[in-house]
Amino acid sequence: MAQATPQVPVPRAGNGLARRTTLGVLVAIIALLGTQAVVDMADIAIGATGAMSPFSAGALVGSPIAAGAGAALAYAVVNRFTARPVRNFVATAAAVFLVMLVPVFAVAPAMGITPTGQGLLVAYHLIVAVPLTAFVVGALGR
> Can you give the pTM of this predicted structure?
0.85
Q: Examine residue 62 and state whether it is found in any structural domain, yes or no.
A: yes
Q: Tens of pLDDT along 48-104? A: 877 788 999 999 999 999 999 999 999 999 999 999 999 999 999 999 999 999 999
Neighbour-count burial of 64, counting CB atoms closer than 10 A to its CB (0-12 exposed, 13-18 middle, 19+ buried): buried
Q: Tens of pLDDT along 115-125? A: 999 999 999 99
Q: Examine residue 5 and state whether it is found in any structural domain, yes or no.
A: no
pLDDT over 70 for what percent of the chain?
89
CA 139 – CA 54 distance, rounded (Å)? 29
Q: Please count the structural domains in the chain.
A: 1
Q: Examine residue 6 and state whether it is found in any structural domain, yes or no.
A: no
Contact 49, 55 (CB under 8 A): yes
CA 58 – CA 81 distance, rounded (Å)? 35
Contact 114, 125 (CB under 8 A): no
Determine the structural domain holding residue 20 and report its residue range. 15-136
Q: Examine residue 121 and state whether it is found in any structural domain, yes or no.
A: yes
CA 107 – CA 111 distance, rounded (Å)? 7
CA 103 – CA 60 distance, rounded (Å)? 16
Q: Examine residue 128 and state whether it is found in any structural domain, yes or no.
A: yes
Q: Examine residue 122 and state whether it is found in any structural domain, yes or no.
A: yes
